[in-house]
């Protein structure tokens, strides 16, 4: 029995060393910090998505068109989910996020607040279409440029959602 125990000791020791080496290597891979461009993208994407949520929430309240209201509700749901993902990503990457939308986004929101009826719907849909086209370009560029795996997962998953939002805004505006 002593022979079996002592002959297994080197094998077990070697196996444990391999496990420790792999876990250290994986931890070192994970510890690679994101670039400043990746950090900036996360910050900008979070602010933009927060603004989209606020704009869509306004449309849910103000629009008199059932289709526009339903679309706005979808935007709220989708952008709140994106906001949550971006917050989680920012936390794991130690990126500070602003809680405020930009002055330009605030101006857009105020402009929409003053519009009513059909004018509101037209302005809202045009705003969503324009902003989403810009977001699509930004996310597609981020997908090409950024190397962080977690960021790429969020970006690549979001692009089709943004494209669907854009297409629906354009479709509703054409009616």
Question: Does 12 share its domain with 38?
Answer: no
Q: Are 90 and 97 in contact (CB under 8 A)?
A: yes
Question: Does 57 share its domain with 17?
Answer: no
Number of domains in the chain: 2
Q: What is the pLDDT of residue 13?
A: 45
Question: Does 17 share its domain with 60?
Answer: no
Question: Does 62 share its domain with 123?
Answer: yes
**Residue 135 maps to which CATH number?**
1.20.1260.10
Question: Does 27 share its domain with 99?
Answer: no
Q: Write the pLDDT tens digit of every residue in 104-150.
A: 999 999 999 999 999 999 999 999 999 999 999 999 999 999 999 99
Domain that holds residue 8: 1-31
pTM value is 0.79
Q: Which helix (H) or strand (E) holds 55?
A: helix 36-62
Query: Cβ neighbours of residue 63 under 8 Å, at least 6 residues apart?
Result: 69, 72, 120, 121, 124
Question: Does 156 share its domain with 99?
Answer: yes
Q: What is the pLDDT of residue 102?
A: 94
- pLDDT greater at residue 97 or residue 175: 97
Q: What is the pLDDT of residue 31?
A: 55
Q: Are 148 and 50 in contact (CB under 8 A)?
A: no
Q: What is the pLDDT of residue 16?
A: 44
Question: Does 38 share its domain with 27?
Answer: no
Secondary structure E strands in the chain: none
> Which residue's structure tokens are 């690679």?
32
Question: Does 69 share its domain with 4?
Answer: no
pLDDT for residue 173 is more than 70: yes
Question: Does 15 share its domain with 93?
Answer: no
Residue 32: half-sphere exposure toward Cβ, Cα within 13 Å: 10
Question: Does 73 share its domain with 86?
Answer: yes
Instruction: Work out the angle between the directed axes of helices 149-174 and 117-145 (0-180°, nearest 10).
Output: 150
> Which residue's structure tokens are 């461009």?
37
Question: Does 82 share its domain with 48?
Answer: yes
Question: Does 24 share its domain with 38?
Answer: no
Q: Write the pLDDT tens digit of every residue in 10-46.
A: 444 444 444 444 444 444 445 578 899 999 999 999 9
Q: Write the pLDDT tens digit of every residue in 45-73.
A: 999 999 999 999 999 999 999 999 999 99
Structure tokens belonging to residue 165: 């939002």
> Which residue's structure tokens are 């354009």?
170
């Amino acid at each position: 029995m002593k022979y079996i125990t002592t002959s297994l000791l080197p094998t077990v020791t070697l196996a444990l060393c391999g496990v420790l080496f792999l876990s250290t290597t994986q931890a070192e891979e994970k510890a690679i910090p994101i670039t400043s461009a990746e950090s900036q993208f996360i910050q900008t994407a979070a602010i933009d998505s927060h603004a989209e949520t606020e704009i869509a929430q306004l449309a849910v309240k103000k629009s008199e068109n059932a289709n526009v209201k339903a679309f706005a509700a979808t935007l709220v749901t989708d952008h709140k989910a994106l906001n949550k993902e971006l917050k989680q990503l920012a936390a794991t990457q130690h990126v500070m996020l602003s809680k405020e939308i930009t002055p330009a986004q605030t101006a857009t929101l105020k402009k929409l607040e003053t519009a009513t009826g059909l004018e509101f719907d037209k302005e809202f849909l045009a705003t969503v279409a324009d902003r989403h086209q810009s977001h699509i370009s930004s996310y597609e560029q981020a997908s090409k440029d950024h190397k962080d795996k977690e960021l790429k997962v969020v970006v690549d998953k979001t692009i089709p959602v943004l494209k669907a939002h854009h297409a629906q805004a354009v479709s509703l505006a054409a009616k």
